[in-house]
Amino acid sequence: MNLQVQAFEPAAGQIPAAISIRNLSKSFSASKTVFSGINIDIAPGSLVALIGANGAGKSTLLRCIPRLIDPDGGEIEVQGQKVLRDARNLRRLRSKIGFVFQKHNLVGRLSSLTNVIHGAQGRGYGVAAWNQAFASSAIRAQALDCLDRVGLAPTAAQRADSLSGGQSQRVAIARALMQQPDIVLADEPAASLDPQAGDEVMQLFVTLMQMEAKTVVFSSHNLTHALQFADRVIAIAGGKIVLDAPSRSLGEAELRGLYG
Amino acid sequence: MAEHALPSRFERPNALTFVLLVGTAALIISSFATSGVSFEKLVRGFPALGRLGAQMFPPSIERLEPVLWSLIQTFQMAIAGTVLGLIISLPLAVLAAPSLSPHPFFVWVTRGIVALFRTVPDLVWAIVFVIAVGLGPAAGVLALMVDTTGFAARFFAEAMEETEKGPREALSALGASRSGIIFSSVIPQAMPSMINTSLFSLEKATRGSVVLGLVGAGGIGIELKVSLEMFDYDQAATIIIAIFLLVLAVERASTWVRNRIL
């Protein structure tokens, strides 16, 4: 196996990396180190796939970026600003980062439209983004447009818990669009869907994010998705980065070797 | 025939279980002995019950109109007390829910206050408020408010804690404020349980409001007290039937609402 580890560090004078991770470490107990010494720079507008076996730390690493999980050590910078625990700074930085979860994490009792409107909370819309009933016409129209872009405008008034898994994940993508972030992190967005729905959701997700020139980092077990949609693949194993290379230089068989 | 022996029907209790069983039995027996309840006493009481029943029927409708007005006032007290209690319960529940409260200190203090509200009986709160604000329905409303708060805040907090964490995490990840997360994710998810608790609170307050009049806190209780003290048992029967119908109507209505909404 010919594994390559080659950091994508921006040269001096260039635009700062969208995400810069320095010497990051995380362990859940003294005996269970998830990862340590992780260094990654992600260029603005790039599409990065994070792969690795179960328990390799992909989700933990993604969650560390907006500090949904606090790392034990190291530094994270988003667009040149340190991601610190301080609440005000953290909320401001989080508003620039969209997060699509493996399970859609919608509020089931609320309508699709309200769930999408929630995305505007990161843009400082407060009470107006709590529920579609309180939202201004402009916000409601924006949310409907986001739903339309994921092909679900007809479900605007439907309760989220009445949607299929694939539809729910698309509403979650619409919520991320509504947030208007610069960076989108996605934690195995297609993992809980059947293969066909998973392919459709990934295709839609990547196409929409590319149209908006977002920086995207997604984790996946699906090596085809990693090679098809990402322009860079990072693999984690044993708590370290074991591969960091452009996807065009990689083959599926090569990546499969990482899963033992 | 099976080779293995059948297990015994009952397990032999260990020493601690045995002590607890004996202690519980002793407590039950001593409770009956102290309270002086006996089958003999009950039998001896039947003739007196019969006489009371005879004096109650037919119920008197002589003072039906004031009784009905008092009944309406009682229900209004229950509604006002419940609404005030529910309004106060909401912020207290947020502070009492460990995953939503800004600091564990608030959880500790709020839970203490809510426990105090819940453990002191509503009749005692009524006496306290009669002393504070004087005789009348205002004292009753305040007593019901405190009683409802003690009940609802606890169940609201539990309902909020039991909501799915995923939607909260999603909102937190996009930079939503604490209040945004509470009102957009936690409360909508907890709503069925909160409506249920609110309806039970109204039923509880309706039952509670009936007896508050006995200590001068307004409502139909004072009518009942006066009728019994004046030996107007036929009039007391009318009041008891009116109370029964009110409580039954509220219970039926709340069951209907519960089935329709939830």
pLDDT tens for residues B74-114? 999 999 999 999 999 999 999 999 999 999 999 999 999 99
Are residues B174 and A119, on separate chains, in Cβ contact within 8 Å? yes
Contact check, Cβ <8 Å, B174/A93: no
Class of the B64-261 domain?
A: mainly alpha
Nearest CB to A68; choose among B172, B189, B192: B172
B102 touches chain A (CB under 8 A): no
Determine the distance in angstroms separating the CA of B180 from the nearest CA of chain A, rounded to an integer. 6
* Interchain CB distance below 8 Å, A110 and B188: yes
CB pair distance less than 8 Å for B184 and A98: no
The nearest CA of chain A is from the CA of B195 a distance in Å of 14
pLDDT of residue A208: 87
Residues in chain A: 260
Q: Where are the beta strands (DSSP E) in chain A?
A: 19-29, 32-42, 47-51, 73-78, 81-82, 97-100, 183-187, 215-219, 232-237, 240-246
Contact between A215 and A46 (Cβ < 8 Å)? yes
Tens digits of residue pLDDT in A206-215: 888 888 889 9
Report all structural domains of chain A as residue ranges with CATH numbers, in order of start: 1-6+28-96+185-260 (3.40.50.300), 106-180 (no CATH)
User: What is the rounded distance in angstroms from the CA atom of residue A69 to the CA atom of residue A67?
Assistant: 5
As a whole-number percent, the residues of chain B with pLDDT over 70 amount to 99
Tokens of B193: 């349980």
Instruction: Mark residue B216 as left, alpha or beta (left: phi above 0; alpha: psi -120 to 50; beta: remaining).
Output: left
- Please list the residues that pair with A244 across neighbouring strands: A5, A234
Q: Report, as an integer, the average pLDDT of A188-197.
A: 86
Closest in B166, B173, B177 to A103, CB measured: B166
Contact between A119 and B172 using a beta-carbon 8 Å cutoff: no
CA A216 to chain B, closest CA, distance in angstroms equals: 15
Looking at chain B, the whole-number percentage of residues with pLDDT higher than 90 is: 65
Residue B123, chain A, CB below 8 Å: the answer is: no
Confidence of residue B11 (pLDDT cuts 50, 70, 90): confident
DSSP B216-261: TSSSTHHHHHHHHHTT-HHHHHHHHHHHHHHHHHHHHHHHHHHHHH
For the ranges A13-17, A97-101, B241-245, the lowest mean pLDDT is seen at A13-17
**B261 touching A (Cβ < 8 Å):** no
Q: How close B88 gets to chain A, by Cα (Å)?
A: 20
pLDDT category of residue A196 using cuts at 50, 70 and 90: confident
pLDDT surpassing 90 at residue B200: yes
Q: How far apart are CA A104 and CA A122, in angstroms?
A: 18
Interface probe, candidates A105, A139, A173, A179, chain B, greatest B C-beta count within 10 A: A105
Please report which confidence band the pLDDT of residue A7 belongs to, taking 50, 70 and 90 as the band edges.
Answer: very low
Residues 6+ apart with CB under 8 A from A226: A49, A51, A220, A233, A247, A255
From the list B174, B189, B192, which residue is nearest A122 (CB)? Answer: B174
Task: Enumerate the H helices of chain B as residue ranges.
Answer: 15-35, 39-56, 64-96, 104-119, 122-133, 137-161, 165-173, 178-181, 187-212, 221-229, 233-261
Contact flag A99-B174 (C-beta cutoff 8 Å): yes
User: Quick one: tokens of A214?
Assistant: 């977002």
Confidence at residue B45, expressed as pLDDT on a 0 to 100 scale: 86
pLDDT recorded at residue A2:
44
User: Could B191 and A121 be called an inter-chain contact, meaning their C-beta atoms sit closer than 8 Å?
Assistant: no
Res B12: pLDDT: 83
- Residues in chain A with CB shorter than 8 Å from the CB of B188 are 107, 109-110
Closest-CA distance of chain B to residue A87, Å: 10
Give dist(CA A146, CA A140) in Å, integer.
10
pLDDT in tens, B117-154: 999 999 999 999 999 999 888 999 999 999 999 999 99
Predicted confidence at residue B13, as pLDDT, reads 84
| Contact call for A105 and B180, based on CB within 8 A | no
> B28-80: per-residue pLDDT in tens?
999 988 888 888 888 888 888 899 888 888 988 888 898 999 999 999 999 99
Q: In this predicted model, what pLDDT tens digit does every residue of B156-193 receive, in sequence order?
A: 999 999 999 999 999 999 999 999 999 999 999 999 99
Which residue is closest to B163 within chain A, CA to CA?
A107
B169 contacts in A (CB within 8 Å)?
68, 101, 105
**Is the pLDDT at B116 greater than 60, yes or no?**
yes
Please answer yes or no on whether B174 and A98 come within 8 Å at the CB atom. Answer: yes
Tell me the per-residue pLDDT of A164-179, one tens digit each, with 9 for 90 and over: 999 999 999 999 999 9
A26-36, pLDDT tens digit by residue?
Answer: 998 877 888 89
Smallest CA–CA separation between B262 and chain A, in Å?
Answer: 11
Whether A131 sits inside 8 A of B184 (CB atoms) is yes
